[in-house]
Amino acid sequence: MSEKLTKVQFTNFDKILFPQIKVTKAQVIEYYIKIAPKMLRHLANRPLVLTRFPDGVEKEGFYEKDTPEGTPSWVKTVTLYSETAKRDVHYILCNDLDTLIWLANLAAIEIHIPLSTVDHRDKPDFVFFDVDPEPPATYEDAAEVALLLKEKLNQLGLEPYVKTSGKKGLHVLIPIAREYTFRETRAFVHTVGKQLSKEHAIVVSEFSETKKPGKVFIDYLQNSHGRTMICPYSLRAVPTATVSTPLDWSEVKKRIKPAEFNISNVASLRKDPWKNIFGNKQKLEVK
Amino acid sequence: MAKKPKPAQPSRRAIWSGSITIGLVNVPVKLYAMIYDRGINFHFLHKTDNQPLKYERVCTKDGKLVPWEEVAKGYEVAKNEYVVFDQEELDAVKPESDKRIRIDKFVDYFSVDPTYFNTTYALMPDKSNDAYSLLLAALKKMGKAGAGRITLRTKEYPVLVHAYKDALVLTTLRYAYDVVDPQAFEELKELKAPEKAELDLAMKIIKDLSGEFDITEYEDTYRRKVEELIAKKLKGEKIVVEKPAEEEVKGLMIALRETLKQLEKK
């Protein structure tokens, strides 16, 4: 490379990462380069959890929290004690384009983020409703429940945002002022979920009910220290290379299928429906 | 940076002359080439002394040079089996151009799919200014094209005569049987109709990206680069052969530059 546009040394460009649609690593890198202007602010200062697929998404991938061997010195990391691993873990922080390109070059197809930033780890800045349909419930059912949830939150004076999970569910988020603990946000999500399950038979809100066939589970447990969510605009390791895509609520109403939002169109064609999300921090009436 | 290629210049030599005939009306015209496929031409040279090479007709049996007097034409009916013709025999059946562009009817120019368009020639009046001008004005006003036939050299073509940039032009067409019907491809048999929501989204994307087509935005970049090289060589500059970047790298660098620009703006 004659020009020095990036510090990243690319490797194995032609490796096919999505065999079914013949997408190469070069194309994955190109996607992350193009989406960076919209994605970087969601990554900033959050210790990342990666799912890497060096041999493509049809081969087994692996989770990675620790910086891998050969991590260049310019990649920002933060050392934190991991409760689950019971040891210090050197997490990667992705605060710039080069780091994102480097992650793509590692075949880190999925990038997961915690709901709080590294400087306020115990004070989440997002409330997260994971709306997850259990077959035979479908995406359409999840969309239905997400809309009910939106209505309920609107009644509480809140403005939720929505994205596809990239699989069959939807993620509903409220950006919040850093005034609450995870215990409080979790309780809030659980309360709203219970209320909705009382009003609508299709909704379940208890962990014990998650596998009830045909129901849609509003998962509150993700609002916890150390838990992560798929980052907005991250690719998913599914054969069709879908993207966890921020949506306009009108797109949920239209039931546009999550598969419509994928590596081939999200970066180039869409406006960002979440443009103002960081300027819209809200307060919860947790009682 | 080399300048844009000069527009193609009109030829002074007509390649055909005759009349457009519509019923009993004749409009004498001359036909001029209008389409040029201007790639870059290279000549083969002998590397050791830069002398041009030439082709010779050599007999495949004994390797000896064959003079033109001894050349016949053969139509291969089976592997290595030929029906042999003299030039005179072929000349005898050559269709005589009757010096006419016979217009059978008038059609909407855009009702003929461009798939059938072969090549376009400029028609110029041949001491027939008034008739030419009248036909041109009428076709232009009605947006119609005359459909008919012409014989050029030894081949008869269906043609359209229409008004283009205030001139009459003639477009030769391909025969229907020379064009493959894409429905004959097996791949299309598996196509399903899209769902409405998908179709709506696709149509929205197309609408958002719709614009005016401007052919002058397109340029043969290979041709331009070779012309730049030629200019450099003429000035005596040494050409450094750069290892071409892989296609992927080029795409990435374009994306990267665009993203860096966007991030800078923020």
Same domain assignment for residues B139 and B217: no
Task: Indicate the residue type of A138.
Answer: T
**Domain co-membership, B131 together with B222:** no
Binned at pLDDT 50, 70 and 90, residue B48 comes out as confident
- In this predicted structure, what is the pLDDT of residue A147? 96
Q: How far is CA B200 from the centre of its chain?
A: 36
Predicted local confidence at residue A2, as pLDDT: 42
Q: Which residue of A has its CA nearest to B253?
A: A5
| Single residue among B160, B178, B196 that ends a domain in this structure | B178
B68 within some domain: no
For the residues B257-263, what does the mean pLDDT come to? 87
pLDDT band for B123, please (50, 70, 90 cuts). Answer: very high
Query: In B, which residues are within 8 Å of A5 by CB distance?
Result: 253, 256-257, 260
Q: From the list B198, B200, B255, which residue is nearest A34 (CB)? A: B255
pLDDT value at residue A69: 82
Q: Provide the CATH number for the domain around residue B124.
A: 2.40.290.10
- Asked if the structure places residue B157 within a domain, the reply is yes
ipTM beyond cut 0.85? no
- The strand pairing partners of A235, in sequence order, are A243
Dist CA B253 CA A242 (whole Å): 24
Q: How far apart are CA A116 and CA A123, in angstroms?
A: 6
Give me the residues paired with residue A16 across strands. Answer: A24
The answer to the question of residue B67 being in a domain is: no
Concatenated DSSP letters of A115-136: SS-GGGTTS-SEEEEEEEEPTT
B228 touches chain A (CB under 8 A): no
Q: Are B132 and B219 within one domain?
A: no
Residue A287 is predicted with a pLDDT of 44
Residues B32 and B110 in one domain: yes
Q: What angle do CA B222, B225, B229 make, to 5 degrees?
A: 135
- One domain, residues B163 and B246: no
Q: Do B259 and A36 touch (CB under 8 A)?
A: yes
Range list of H helices, chain A: 25-43, 97-105, 139-155, 182-199, 249-253, 266-269
Cα(A210)–Cα(A22) distance, rounded to whole angstroms? 35
Measured in angstroms, the CA of A7 and the nearest CA of chain B are apart by 12
Residue A255 neighbours by CB distance under 10 Å: 15
Q: Does residue B247 belong to any structural domain of this protein? A: yes
B220, B174: one domain: no
Tokens for B235?
A: 């000035």
Q: Does B251 touch chain A (CB under 8 A)?
A: yes
Q: What are phi and psi of B145, to 5 degrees?
A: -130, 140
Q: Answer yes or no: is B85 within a domain.
A: no
Q: Are B25 and B104 in the same domain?
A: yes
Q: Are B29 and B151 in the same domain?
A: yes
Of B200, B249, B255, the CB nearest to A33: B255
- pLDDT for B2 equals 47
Q: Across the interface, do B201 and A256 touch by the CB < 8 Å criterion?
A: yes
Contacts 24+ apart (CB under 8 A), A115-119: A115/A182, A115/A185, A115/A222, A115/A223, A115/A227, A115/A228, A115/A229, A116/A46, A116/A178, A116/A182, A116/A225, A117/A44, A117/A45, A117/A46, A118/A45, A118/A46, A118/A47, A118/A78, A118/A80, A118/A91, A118/A93, A119/A45
pLDDT digits (tens, 9 = 90+) for B171-213: 999 999 999 999 989 888 888 888 888 888 888 888 888 888 8
Q: Residue A144 contacts by C-beta under 8 Å, 6 or more apart in sequence?
A: A202, A216
- Digits of tens for pLDDT over chain A (287 positions)? 445 788 888 888 889 999 999 999 999 999 999 999 999 999 999 999 999 999 999 998 888 888 888 889 999 999 988 777 788 899 999 999 999 999 999 999 999 999 999 999 999 999 999 999 998 999 999 999 999 999 999 999 999 999 999 999 999 999 999 999 999 999 999 999 999 999 999 999 888 887 888 999 999 999 998 899 999 999 999 999 999 999 999 999 999 899 999 999 888 767 899 999 999 999 987 44
pLDDT digits (tens, 9 = 90+) for B128-163: 999 999 999 999 999 999 999 998 887 889 999 999
Structural domain boundaries, residue B149:
16-38+95-178
**What is the rounded average pLDDT of the residues B20-42?**
89
Spell out which residues of chain B touch residue A254, defining contact as CB-CB under 8 Å: 197, 200
| Nearest residue in chain B measured CA to CA from A28 | B252
d(CA A77, CA A89) in angstroms, rounded, equals: 10
What's the gap between Cα B69 and its chain centre?
Answer: 34
- The Cβ of residue B45 has, within 10 Å, a number of other Cβ atoms equal to 11
Residue B69 located in a structural domain: no
Choose among A287, A263, A228: nearest CA to A48.
Answer: A228
Residues of chain A with Cβ-Cβ distance to B251 below 8 Å are 26, 30
**Which of B178, B203, B237 represents a domain boundary (last residue)?**
B178
Nearest to B197 among A37, A255, A265 (CB): A255
Q: Tell me the pairing of strands B16-22 and B100-108.
A: parallel
pLDDT at B168: 96
Q: Residues B49-54: what's their mean pLDDT?
A: 84
Whether A67 contacts A78, CB under 8 Å? no
**Eight-state DSSP code of residue A159:** -
pLDDT the model gives residue B206: 87
Contact list in B for residue A10 (CB cut-off 8 A) is: 249, 252
Question: How many structural domains comprise chain B?
Answer: 2
Considering B134, B155, B178, which residue would you say is the last residue of a domain? Answer: B178
Nearest C-alpha neighbor of A13 from the set A99, A104, A100: A104
Res. B1: pLDDT tops 50: no
Cβ-Cβ contacts under 8 Å, B243 against chain A: none
With beta carbons under 8 A apart, name residues in chain A contacting B208: 269
B256 → closest Cβ in A13, A24, A33: A33
B248 vs A26, A40, A255: nearest CB: A26
Is B114 in the same domain as B166?
A: yes
A34–B260 C-beta distance less than 8 A: no
* Structure confidence at residue A93 (pLDDT): 96
Strands A203-204 and A216-219 come out as parallel
Q: Is residue B193 part of a domain?
A: no
Q: Quick check: B179 contacting A, CB < 8 Å?
A: no
B104 touches chain A (CB under 8 A): no
Question: Can you read off the two tokens belonging to residue B25?
Answer: 């009306």
- Categorize the per-residue pLDDT at B266 as very low, low, confident or very high, splitting at 50, 70 and 90: low
Q: Which of B198, B255, B257 sits opposite A260 (nearest CB)?
A: B198
pLDDT at A231: 98
Are B160 and B225 within one domain?
A: no
pLDDT of residue A81: 84
State how far the Cα of A50 lies from the Cα of A230, in Å rounded to an integer.
9
Look at residue B234 and tell me if it is in a domain: yes
Question: Could you tell me if B197 lies within 8 Å of chain A, comparing CB atoms?
Answer: yes
Separation between Cα atoms, residue A6 and residue A97, nearest integer Å: 8
Residues B30 and B120 in one domain: yes
Q: Which residues of B touch A26 (CB under 8 A)?
A: 248-249, 251-252
DSSP state of B217: G
Tokens of B19: 């009349």
Give the global pTM: 0.57
User: Do B100 and B34 fall within a single domain?
Assistant: yes
